[in-house]
Structure formats: structure tokens, C-alpha cells
Chain A
Amino acid sequence: MERESMEFDVVIVGAGPAGLSAACKLMQLAEKNEQELMVCVIEKGSEVGAHILSGAVLEPTAMNELFPNWKELGAPLNTEVKGDDVYYLTGEDKGIRTPNFFIPKPMHNDGNYIVSMGNVCRWMAEQAEGMGVEIFPGFTASEILYNDDGSVKGILTGDMGIAEDGSEKDSYMPGMELLAKQTIFAEGCRGHLGKQLMESFDLNKDADPQHYGLGIKEVWTIDPEKHQEGLVVHTAGWPLDNHTEGGGFLYHMENNQVSLGFIVALNYTNPHLSPFDEMQRWKSNPKISQFLEGGERVSYGARAVNKGGMQSVPKLSFPGGLLVGCDAGFLNGAKIKGNHTAMKTGMLAAETVIESLKAGDVAGKELSLMDEKYKSSWVFDELHKTRNFGPALHKFGTFLGGTFSWFDQNIFAGKLPFTWRNTTPDHATLKPAAKCPVINYPKPDGKITFDKLSSVFLSSTNHEEDQPCHLKLTDPSIPLSQNLPLYNEPAQLYCPAGVYEVVKDEEGNDKFQINGQNCVHCKTCDIKDPAQNITWVTPEGGGGPNYGNM
């Protein structure tokens, strides 16, 4: 069909820290060079920030480079880190505070800020719009558009007003082609277009498989007596066993609120494990519950993070486009931070594109300069220094792995002359359910711990009811024919939003049900399904969570 199209110099997919940093940097450089530049950012969330979920302790390095005067401009970096506690939880009611000396250096947070990354993004979007960037929230990038020579020419926005059965409703509005000389993909972790680009351009050829974690986060308003603005708490250990990686965080933000969450590495092996329930019971440890008692939970959300580090970073350039931020995977696992690296790689992409435009490059060119810029940037240095952090935890477990990391980081400063690798993708790690212990999670108490549906309620998630399901099964029989007998269909447990259920149908037979409406766009199913049978695609624009202050 003939579609309407719009042309820009640069189209950016995703208004997160990477995409918005790219947009701001592009406009700054264009102004400096007195260049006319048309830049647009499209964002699937109903507004900028609606789909942003991050801890977050922000290391302000990239922000200082992008907006040296961010303070005067009113960036919402209001809470400086004032205390930094690390606990090793040894059981449901015990935990030991780890002396500062024993904490690997990258985990120190002096000079960092506790922020709501959603609000930081809202602020960056204002800056970008002020500089002339067109930002379109509520629009998805549903497909990549290619030129005849195979180079990327832009993206197609999702159709709106398609009914569940695929027919066009009265409100039908076909998607539009957004064309650009260069398209910057900044979808965040496991972007659905990024995934296609990696396949079609074989960007992972020289990289290890990406590794992921699922982060589940809540925001609480707590008793002012218990609130210590600026305090950062991290935990390792319980409730995970020594062979399951993960840990918790609790940050005291402004306004008597705390942001807390738990990350479970998605290479876990026991299909009976439920990241959601691990997170809930983690809160019942007194080191955490001491802050929450008497408080009120105000928000909930979940998002996958990439943690493969340096070894998993793909090639960033391909004809017509670039990958930035978590769409490629620059999270520094040792620091548990990826916002600063996402921002910086967005900025590097902007520099790359501007240099190319200045040189008069044609549209659709491959800008390998991006890969060079990354390798000579502090992002690479950081990831290189901490490259053995993740694999060490994986190899030796949390305790010994953590000890290694202390020596590696505090004594050898990341300069040990070897690189460990982890080449098993996360979807291939599950062991058969019959061979794994069943985990009995306690019932939620409705005060500190909650059930899934009342949690999803707090994410303000909404999708237009009458639309095709955006979670596609390549083979619809696999959940019941393979996943259920072998792994007890782990989607029921790994999904933090209760999207997947095995229910009985009218005749009492098992039926695999997908409640796509509940989806918080965390992408875990796309990552962890053992058969790689679930593909997350974009629902109608504007759908998904509506996070505020997340």
C-alpha cells in the first residue's frame, strides 16, 4: 500500500536517556556548525517518561558533558548520594553490613545523584524541544524500512485502529514512513527493532550473547521518621541462592519517597523461580522492611536490563543507522548503572552523524566511525575494566565471585590480563522442572508484600482493548506441548505482570492464555522463553505502562 511519508535528517527511535542525549547533542552541534537539521524522536509511551524505569543512581559524567550548566537549567538531579550501605543478606531475617573497604570500587557512589530517570527524561525532552527537535510520544516504530541496496532508510510507525481480528476499525489510521539519512535506534534493552537489526546485519558476529536481568521496582512513600534522603542501600544474597545472580536496591529520594527494587539475572536455572515473588519476599527482610513499615506503595514496574558488558557489545553501525544505549547494551554491571553510558553513546552517535553530514555523506551510509568513537571513549574504558565482574559472579557464585571482583577492582583496577566469557544465552539455562526444587513463596501480606495483579494496577498500564495481541507465538503449540511438560511453562512465573497463564478451557484441558493488556513492556518473555517462541512486537502507540516518577 501507498503510505504517507515524512523526511528528516535524523530519526531517533525511543525517548530514553540515549535517544534524548543523541537528539540534544545533534542540535547543539548543528547550532555550533550553523547547520540546518531536522531531527525527530518517536516514543511508544503515551508521553516521554511513561516507559522509563530505572533505579536510579545517576553518575553525572555524561550529563556534565551534555549540559555543563544542568543545574541552572533545572535538571531534576536533586538528591546527592549521602550514604552508601551494602548488606549481604544471609536469611529472611538476617543480613550483615559489608564494611566500605570490602566493597568493590565501582559500587561506590560519591558524587552521584538519586533521580527519577523518567523525570530526567522529561526534562531532557523539554531541552530537546527547545532546540527544535520534534518529539512524538504515543507513536511506535513498528518496522524498519530498507532501501533497495539493503541499507536502512527509516522506520514505519505502527498502524492505529486495528481490531483484535486484524480488521480496520472506524478510527483506523495507517502508519507513516519516517525517512532519514541516519536512523538512531535507542529502544532500550532488547529493542524489537534492534533485535532485527542485529540479525539482518549480523552485528553480534564478534560478540558474546547478550545477558540480561529482570529489574522489578516499586516506589513507596514512607514514614518521614524513617526517611534518610540521599541514603543508598544495596543488598546481595538472600533470597537468591548462591548460584542465582541478583540483588536489591533501596534509594531514599526526595519527598519522603524511596525507590526500591530487585534484579534477578535471567540466566537462572530453576523454572520454579519467580522473580516477582523473589522481589516481594526480599522486602520482608528487616534490612528493607524497617523502612517500609507504615509506608504506602505508590508505584510498580518492571524492565529487563542488559548486563553482558563489554563482551556482549555488538557492532554499533550498519548502513543507514546506529545502535545506542541499552539497545546495544552498555550497562556497567559492576556499577549497576547504565544511564550515563546510554547518554554518552547517544552523544557519540550524534557526533558521528554530524561529522558524516558535514562530510556530505549520502543517506544510508554505514558510519563505522561510531564504533571507533565508542572504543576510544570512557564508556569502553569502564566496561573493559569491569569486564570480568559479571562472568565472575556467574562462574563462582555471588560470594566468591564478589571476592574476586574486590581483588580485581580494588587491587588490580580491572587490569588483570584475561577476559572471562559466558557464552550460554539466558534462554538456554533452564533445567527441567522435575529436576529442580519447587520454591514455596509466602503469601503476600498486603502490607509489605503484594500479589501480581494489584502490583500491575500501580503501573497504570493500559492498552487499547480491541487490538491484536502484541506478544506473538511463532508456534502456538509450544507452550503446552514443550514448555509446560518440561519447564512448567516458566512464562507464568517470569512475567512480572501476569500476562501469561495456563488455564483450563471448557472441556477441562489446558489452555495457554496471553493477557496482553497487562504487559509492562519489560521484554522478559522475548528473552527467557526456552524455545525462543515469543516475540514482543509493538502494540498500538501510547499503550503500556504510564510511569510517573519512575
Chain B
Amino acid sequence: MSKVLVIAEHDGANLNGSTARAVSCAADLGLDAVDVVVLAADGSAVAEQAAKITGVSTVLLVQNPANENAVAAILAPQIEALAADYSHVLAPSTTFGKDLMPRVAAHLGRPQISDIMRVESATVFDRPVYAGNAVITVEAPEGLVIGTVRTASYKAASNDGSASVETRSVDATLPSHTRFVGLESGGGGDRPDLQAAAKVVSGGRGVGSEENFKAIYSLADKLGAGVGASRAAVDAGFIPNDHQVGQTGKIIAPDLYMAFGISGAIQHLAGIKDAGTIVAINKDADAPIFEVADFGLVADLFEVIEELEKAL
């Protein structure tokens, strides 16, 4: 029997949404079962959430005070002990999974497939290289497959499952050389960080001025979105350059990207090509941004912002 184990990402209280995306990828493998493991100090609440993910057979709950915080060197030996029952072990390709999985793989003498974006078969995968400018199709060598799942490539599995939760104890020696000191949540202020934001509202030269950018900020705050800008807007002095999205600025992959008054130079598009849904609002119907936008609206951006704010 071939089974896949997905490592749950959580903060002790809530399951991170990336887990359900990794489960979607695991389901694509077409194996006999998808199990999820929750490693926590007190993980029953998280395990219950994981049990609801559609397609999960069993949730393994491994509780240990050492698992209070997700420290790779401490979690890795526990996963290694569990891996013997599985043909595949996957984790989301978040900083959590990226930190943890290679440590597991190396101990077990296995290579790792990073950032799986498509499953072709149980051993053949697509993954991006060169910052997404090329995609390679790779075949894992025979034996245990260890990988991380590019979350932007998978929709979260839905939430109507009812897996059983099994408490497990694992026999592993845990190191004491790594101590968690603290976590300071990012962003600084209420507005999410551009690179981490699930939604981004972005303005271009069409916004017209620094003063006018207030409308962009206002909409962003209403949506709980980060604020981005095209290089033209940055060059024109409308907004500081740490907001710049594109080849020379930040490369981002939010679920929703709303571009206001951005023409869509290729340099800008290079920074958003992995966005989930792109919405473009521009007066110029010929603007290149419409060639990549999922939803385009030819209109005055200020009127659109006003109406959107009312509708939200």
C-alpha cells in the first residue's frame, strides 16, 4: 500500500491554509491514502481542523512539549520516524516546509523535490527553476519521495472531510541545540507586507500623483491588501520604491492582484506572473495589462475605486 504523509503547518491554534493546498497535491498522486501529521505541544484543535480537509484518511497527532514551536531540527527526527510507513512525504513550500523537509530528506539519504507545481505521476513532477522563468519536469529516483508543494499552484482542498485522529508517540531523540526565542509578526502596522499579502492593490502612472495614491491605499485597507506600484509610478515619485512590483522590484504571487492605471510593461508583468487572479483597470483599452488580466475593466480608475469601496 502506498500512502502519502502531509506535514501540517500551524501556529499551535490554527491550521495554516497551505496545508490544504499540499493535500490537493498529495491527492493528485493517486495513492491509497493521504494522511496528515500534526506535530504540536497541544495539537487537538489543529488536528480536528486537519481532519476536516477533504481527502484525508487519518490525522496523526504527535504531541510533545518540544513541539511548542516549529523548529526544524526538533521536528525532523520525529518525521523521519514516521516516514517508514509512507511512499511520499510532502509539506507546503512555505518557509516552514522549506526549512524542515530538506533536513528530513538528508537524514534519510533521499533527494528532495522542491516546489512541486504539477504531478505527472507518482514519481514525475513539474517544478519551477530560475525564479519561474523555466519549468523542469523531473523524475524522483526509486524509493521514498520527499517534496515540498508550491502552494500558489494548488487550490486548497475543500473542508467536508471527516478523517480519524490518531495520537501517536514517536521514538526519536530530540536535540537541545536550537531554542526558539520569539516571533514578531510581520508587516509593521495593519497593512500586510507586499510580498506576503494575499491581496495586492497596485497603482501605476495613471494614478497621476502622490496625493491620488491615497485612493489606492484606502481601497487596499478596505480589502486588507498590500500596496504595490509600477516602476513608472515610483519613478514619477508617487510612491517609495519599496512598493515597486516587477522585474527590478518585488516578484509577488498574491491570490488577487488589482492593477489600477498600470499599462503593463513586460518588466512589470514579470513580477506578477504567478498571481492567482489579475484584475486590470485602465482607461486605455489597448494597454498590454489586459492581455494577462483575468478580469479587465476599461474605465476611469477613481470612479471604479469609489464604486468598489461602496460595494465592499
A462 and B267 CA atoms in complex are apart in Å by: 11
The verdict on A457 contacting B267 (CB below 8 Å), with A462-B248, A465-B241, A506-B211 known, is yes
Tell me whether A517 and B231 are in contact (CB under 8 A): yes
Chain B positions within 8 Å of A504 at CB level: 208
Indicate whether A477 reaches chain B with its CB closer than 8 angstroms: no
What distance in Å separates the Cβ of B87 from its nearest Cβ neighbour in chain A? 40
User: Would you list which residues of chain A between 506 and 533 have a CB under 8 Å from chain B?
Assistant: 506, 513, 515, 517
Indicate whether A424 reaches chain B with its CB closer than 8 angstroms: no
Chain A positions within 8 Å of B267 at CB level: 453, 457
The verdict on A454 contacting B266 (CB below 8 Å), with A513-B236, A517-B231 known, is yes
What distance in Å separates the Cβ of A211 from its nearest Cβ neighbour in chain B? 33
Query: Which one of A451, A505, A517 contacts B248 once the chains associate, using CB atoms below 8 Å?
Result: A517
Tell me whether A457 and B241 are in contact (CB under 8 A): no
| Binary A-proximity of B9-33 (CB < 8 A = 1, otherwise 0) | 0000000000000000000000000
Chain B positions within 8 Å of A465 at CB level: 241, 248
A504 and B241 CA atoms in complex are apart in Å by: 20
User: Would you list which residues of chain A between 473 and 516 have a CB under 8 Å from chain B?
Assistant: 503-506, 513, 515
A453 and B267 CA atoms in complex are apart in Å by: 8
A504 and B208 CA atoms in complex are apart in Å by: 8
Indicate whether B64 reaches chain A with its CB closer than 8 angstroms: no
Indicate whether A223 reaches chain B with its CB closer than 8 angstroms: no
Indicate whether A466 reaches chain B with its CB closer than 8 angstroms: yes
State the total of A-B contacts with C-beta under 8 angstroms: 29
Indicate whether B88 reaches chain A with its CB closer than 8 angstroms: no
A451 and B288 CA atoms in complex are apart in Å by: 10
Residues of chain B at interface, number, CB under 8 A: 17
Chain A residue at smallest Cβ distance from B268: A453
Chain B positions within 8 Å of A451 at CB level: 288
Indicate whether B209 reaches chain A with its CB closer than 8 angstroms: yes
What distance in Å separates the Cβ of A480 from its nearest Cβ neighbour in chain B? 16
What distance in Å separates the Cβ of B2 from its nearest Cβ neighbour in chain A? 41
The residue among B205, B266, B270 with the most chain A CB atoms within 10 A of its own CB is B266
Query: Which one of A462, A466, A513 contacts B235 once the chains associate, using CB atoms below 8 Å?
Result: A513
Tell me whether B235 and A453 are in contact (CB under 8 A): no
Query: Which one of B209, B212, B241, B266 contacts A453 once the chains associate, using CB atoms below 8 Å?
Result: B266
A451 and B212 CA atoms in complex are apart in Å by: 29
Tell me whether B205 and A503 are in contact (CB under 8 A): yes
Chain B residue at smallest Cβ distance from A453: B265
The residue among B210, B211, B231, B235 with the most chain A CB atoms within 10 A of its own CB is B235
Query: Which one of B208, B235, B247, B266 contacts A506 once the chains associate, using CB atoms below 8 Å?
Result: B208
User: Would you list which residues of chain A between 17 and 61 have a CB under 8 Å from chain B?
Assistant: none
Chain A residue at smallest Cβ distance from B249: A465
Chain A positions within 8 Å of B209 at CB level: 505-506
A505 and B235 CA atoms in complex are apart in Å by: 12
A517 and B288 CA atoms in complex are apart in Å by: 21
A392 and B278 CA atoms in complex are apart in Å by: 56
Tell me whether B208 and A457 are in contact (CB under 8 A): no
Tell me whether B236 and A503 are in contact (CB under 8 A): yes
Chain A positions within 8 Å of B266 at CB level: 453-454, 457
Chain A positions within 8 Å of B241 at CB level: 465-466
Chain B positions within 8 Å of A506 at CB level: 208-212
User: Would you list which residues of chain A between 430 and 478 have a CB under 8 Å from chain B?
Assistant: 451, 453-454, 457, 462, 465-466
Tell me whether B247 and A515 are in contact (CB under 8 A): no
What distance in Å separates the Cβ of A460 from its nearest Cβ neighbour in chain B? 10
Chain B residue at smallest Cβ distance from A457: B266
| Binary A-proximity of B205-230 (CB < 8 A = 1, otherwise 0) | 10011111000000000000000000
Chain B residue at smallest Cβ distance from A464: B248
Chain B positions within 8 Å of A453 at CB level: 265-267
The residue among A453, A503, A504 with the most chain B CB atoms within 10 A of its own CB is A453
What distance in Å separates the Cβ of A160 from its nearest Cβ neighbour in chain B? 18
User: Would you list which residues of chain B between 227 and 269 have a CB under 8 Å from chain A?
Assistant: 231, 235-236, 241, 247-248, 265-267
Tell me whether B208 and A515 are in contact (CB under 8 A): no
What distance in Å separates the Cβ of A510 from its nearest Cβ neighbour in chain B? 13
Tell me whether A515 and B235 are in contact (CB under 8 A): yes
Tell me whether B236 and A457 are in contact (CB under 8 A): no
| Binary B-proximity of A79-96 (CB < 8 A = 1, otherwise 0) | 000000000000000000
Chain B positions within 8 Å of A515 at CB level: 235
A466 and B234 CA atoms in complex are apart in Å by: 12
Chain A positions within 8 Å of B248 at CB level: 462, 465, 517
A4 and B212 CA atoms in complex are apart in Å by: 48
A457 and B210 CA atoms in complex are apart in Å by: 27
What distance in Å separates the Cβ of A444 from its nearest Cβ neighbour in chain B? 10
Chain A positions within 8 Å of B205 at CB level: 503
Chain B positions within 8 Å of A462 at CB level: 248
The verdict on A457 contacting B247 (CB below 8 Å), with A466-B241, A503-B236, A517-B231 known, is yes
Chain B residue at smallest Cβ distance from A504: B208
Chain A residue at smallest Cβ distance from B286: A443
Chain A positions within 8 Å of B210 at CB level: 506
A64 and B266 CA atoms in complex are apart in Å by: 44
A113 and B230 CA atoms in complex are apart in Å by: 44
Chain B positions within 8 Å of A457 at CB level: 247, 266-267, 270
Chain B residue at smallest Cβ distance from A460: B247
A465 and B265 CA atoms in complex are apart in Å by: 18
What distance in Å separates the Cβ of A499 from its nearest Cβ neighbour in chain B? 11
What distance in Å separates the Cβ of B63 from its nearest Cβ neighbour in chain A? 47
What distance in Å separates the Cβ of A501 from its nearest Cβ neighbour in chain B? 9
What distance in Å separates the Cβ of B231 from its nearest Cβ neighbour in chain A? 7
What distance in Å separates the Cβ of B203 from its nearest Cβ neighbour in chain A? 14
A515 and B267 CA atoms in complex are apart in Å by: 14
Chain B residue at smallest Cβ distance from A446: B291
Chain B positions within 8 Å of A503 at CB level: 205, 236
Chain B residue at smallest Cβ distance from A462: B248
| Binary B-proximity of A139-182 (CB < 8 A = 1, otherwise 0) | 00000000000000000000000000000000000000000000
What distance in Å separates the Cβ of A49 from its nearest Cβ neighbour in chain B? 21
Chain A positions within 8 Å of B236 at CB level: 503, 513
What distance in Å separates the Cβ of B71 from its nearest Cβ neighbour in chain A? 33
A550 and B211 CA atoms in complex are apart in Å by: 44
A137 and B149 CA atoms in complex are apart in Å by: 40
User: Would you list which residues of chain B between 166 and 218 have a CB under 8 Å from chain A?
Assistant: 205, 208-212
A462 and B241 CA atoms in complex are apart in Å by: 15
Chain A residue at smallest Cβ distance from B210: A506
A457 and B266 CA atoms in complex are apart in Å by: 7
Chain B residue at smallest Cβ distance from A465: B241
What distance in Å separates the Cβ of B244 from its nearest Cβ neighbour in chain A? 8
What distance in Å separates the Cβ of A495 from its nearest Cβ neighbour in chain B? 15
Cross-chain pairs A/B with CB under 8 angstroms, 6 sampled? A453-B266, A454-B265, A465-B248, A503-B236, A506-B211, A513-B236
Q: Footprint of A on B, CB under 8 Å?
A: 205, 208-212, 231, 235-236, 241, 247-248, 265-267, 270, 288
In the A-B complex, list the 7 residue pairs whose CB atoms are closest, starting with the nearest: A506-B209, A454-B266, A453-B265, A457-B266, A457-B267, A515-B235, A465-B241
With A453-B266, A457-B266, A503-B236 already in contact, 18 other A-B pairs whose C-beta atoms are closer than 8 Å: A451-B288, A453-B265, A453-B267, A457-B247, A457-B267, A457-B270, A462-B248, A465-B241, A465-B248, A503-B205, A504-B208, A506-B208, A506-B209, A506-B211, A506-B212, A513-B235, A515-B235, A517-B231
